[in-house]
Amino acid sequence: MIKDIVRSFTSLPLWVQIWLAAFLVPVNAAAFFLLDTWAGVATAIAAGLVVVCNGFLIARDRGLGKVLAIPHLLFWGPLECLLIARLLGIVGNGAPEGTEAVYIVMVLIMNGISLAFDVVDTVAWAKGDRTIPGHT
């Protein structure tokens, strides 16, 4: 199973591999180092939910299919709204400052870009695209 998953990941276009490994995952994982902030906790919860759902889907499919976009939409969509509300001082204790504010902007940018791709992938999946990269 691990070989299938690795083969699936490495069969993705190089730019997607770099995007996932160097940008998207690290930015979301950084939340676990910022658990003393409102945004860190919110992002860690959303990231944890995505990891649980997508971990199951990756194991079930033995690779990375378009279905992985659905948990992103379910958990990161609301997270984006909450983080905007946090930036505006609507949630939490006043507007964020320093590291938390910078982190919020980073998550909004990275997850926002990802969500744009996720909409496309979810539509393709809903139309029947069940291909798993790296599987023949």
pLDDT of residue 124: 98
pLDDT of residue 76: 98
- Provide the CB-side half-sphere exposure for 112 (13 A, CA): 11
Q: Where are the domains of the chain?
A: 2-126
pLDDT of residue 7: 97
Taking only the tens place, the pLDDT of each residue in 66-111 is 999 999 999 999 999 999 999 999 999 999 999 999 999 999 999 9
Taking only the tens place, the pLDDT of each residue in 24-69 is 999 999 999 999 999 999 999 999 999 999 999 999 999 999 999 9
- Whole-model pTM: value is 0.93
CB 28 within 8 A of CB 43: yes
Which among 90, 79, 88, 99 is positioned nearest to 37, based on CA atoms?
A: 99
Taking only the tens place, the pLDDT of each residue in 108-126 is 999 999 999 999 999 999 9
Which among 103, 16, 1, 14 is positioned nearest to 66, based on CA atoms?
A: 16
